[in-house]
Amino acid sequence: MASDLDPPTERTHGEIGSSREPLLNGVHDSENYSIYAAILPFLFPALGGLLYGYDIGATSCATIVIESSTLSGVSWYNLSSVEEGLVTSGSLYGALIGSVLAFNVADFLGRRRELIVAALLYFIGALIEAFAPDFAVLVIGRFVFGLGIGLAMHAAPMYIAETAPSPIRGRLISLKEFFIVLGMVAGYGVGSLLVDTVAGWRYMFGISSILAIIMGIGMWWIPPSPRWLLLRCIQEKGNAQSLKDTAISSLCRLRGPAIGDSALQQVDEILAELSYVGEEKQVTLGEMFRGKCLKALTIGVGLVLFQQITGQPSVLYYAATILKSAGFSAASDATRVSILLGALKLIMTGVAVVIVDRVGRRPLLFVGVTGMIVSLFLLGSYYTFLDDVSAVAVVGLLLYVGSYQVSFGPIGWLMISEIFPLRLRGRGLSLAVLVNFGANALVTFAFSPLKALVGAGVVFYIFCGISVVSLVFIFFVVPETKGLTLEEIEAKCL
């Protein structure tokens, strides 16, 4: 590495020295960009999130068709509760394994190639599901599709974070969450159209293969992450000049004509900043749990853990029952109820996307989690002693969904893509995604036994209490990252 990129002083665990502080000057004249050039590098990774959301929506409708003696089109339609659970959650278990795989292969493959592999797994999984001759093959297809989910939900936020201009990074990563919700609504919509079609579940699953092809071709076309290339450059994992030249070319494509002649200057600035914070040293397993790496893990893993254990899967599970008790005619049709809630989630996520880079991450988390606390208290009260006031339950449900979608929903994924140092980002994000899917599975599994043991009201009160703890966690632990480059976040926040 050239001497002008060497850090001026020795520091440990991200301590900021007093002599040369390239990250803290607050000036980034070279970060010019074209909004049109930023669209495709966001869109194709975001399709990975859309396919994840589509799977959630489509599967809820597909299981209805599979279990119908007249519409399933198969002789093995009479599924046991365990078999139904395997169809529903098969992709979730695949996602868990995909997260584990990402821990070891992410930094070797790079963000772009990991997303290409994810698209391939999506495609293969969708085809296996669509043409499954028996139940066992269907579950295998669900698992393969889930592997794609695990890799895509790991690599997509990393790629978007590392390639997006700082002024709109929060908006673009939050927009990925919007795509997940959009996929859910699309899945419910397609499912409602095909729910009365013989073997309609095959079409519901098979449609994913078309989007997977588009995602794969798109990821093949767009450039690799310049920051990943420069990380390999300073860690001497290839020809330094070749990697630097490729990073400059990638940056030019990502920023468009607006970057002008400043690509080289920006690459040199990123290299200097990466060297300044010690990114040339490869992270070891032990180092992940020390110093700034431990702080980043605490922030990232804590956010995605609270994202799930504050009851999000369980509240949505109870949505149809709550609306039915309130006398909504649409409540008798689970698909229509899901579309209604999906539309609300879409609107509120859109609100978060529009304002996140103006108001910041912490204010949205504070407001949203406070709304969740109020809503969970209302739901707990409804099921404990206000069961004759159905409006309380409806208000609690809608407030919870809206509050979640302006806080933990998009901001959780945004923060984990920003907070990890570059050399830890691949492994750190894989741990965060693993915790996310694992906690989701645990909460989903534990809700029914807990409800039977202590009652729905007490369960919602427990979620309310956990939400209060999460608010304290956000206040004392989670930093504000609005407007900072990824390198500045590492220097100032860790």
- In terms of Cβ atoms closer than 10 Å to its own Cβ (0-12, 13-18, 19+), residue 339 is buried
State the fold for domain 283-494.
Answer: Growth Hormone; Chain: A; (1.20.1250)
Taking only the tens place, the pLDDT of each residue in 283-327 is 666 777 777 888 999 999 999 999 999 988 777 767 766 776 666
Tell me the two tokens of residue 355. 């304002």
Highest CATH level, class, for 30-225: mainly alpha
Number of Cβ within 10 Å of residue 280's Cβ equals 18
- Strand, coil or helix: 283: coil
Residue 72 CA, distance from chain mean position: 33
List CB contacts of 96: < 8 A, sequence separation 6 or more.
Answer: 146, 150, 434, 437, 438, 441
Whether the predicted pLDDT of 470 surpasses 90: yes
CA 150 to CA 118: how far, in whole Å?
A: 8
158 HSE (CA, 13 A, CB side) = 33
Taking only the tens place, the pLDDT of each residue in 124-148 is 999 999 999 999 999 999 999 999 9
List CB contacts of 172: < 8 A, sequence separation 6 or more.
Answer: 38, 42, 160, 164
CB 263, CB 288: distance < 8 Å:
no
Taking only the tens place, the pLDDT of each residue in 229-256 is 988 888 778 888 888 889 888 888 888 8
Q: List the chain domain ranges.
A: 30-225, 283-494
Taking only the tens place, the pLDDT of each residue in 57-110 is 888 788 888 988 888 888 888 888 778 878 888 888 899 999 888 887 777 888
Among 348, 336, 404, residue whose Cα is nearest residue 60:
336
CA 487 to CA 226: how far, in whole Å?
A: 13
Tell me the two tokens of residue 121. 């797994």
pTM reported for the whole predicted model: 0.82
| Residue 328 pLDDT class (50, 70, 90 cuts) | low
CA 487 to CA 420: how far, in whole Å?
A: 10
CB 98, CB 146: distance < 8 Å:
yes
Tell me the two tokens of residue 433. 């995604």
Tell me the two tokens of residue 181. 């919700």
CA 67 to CA 83: how far, in whole Å?
A: 11
Q: What is the pLDDT of residue 167?
A: 83
Mean pLDDT of 463-476: 96
State which amino acid sits at residue 123: F
DSSP state of 219: H
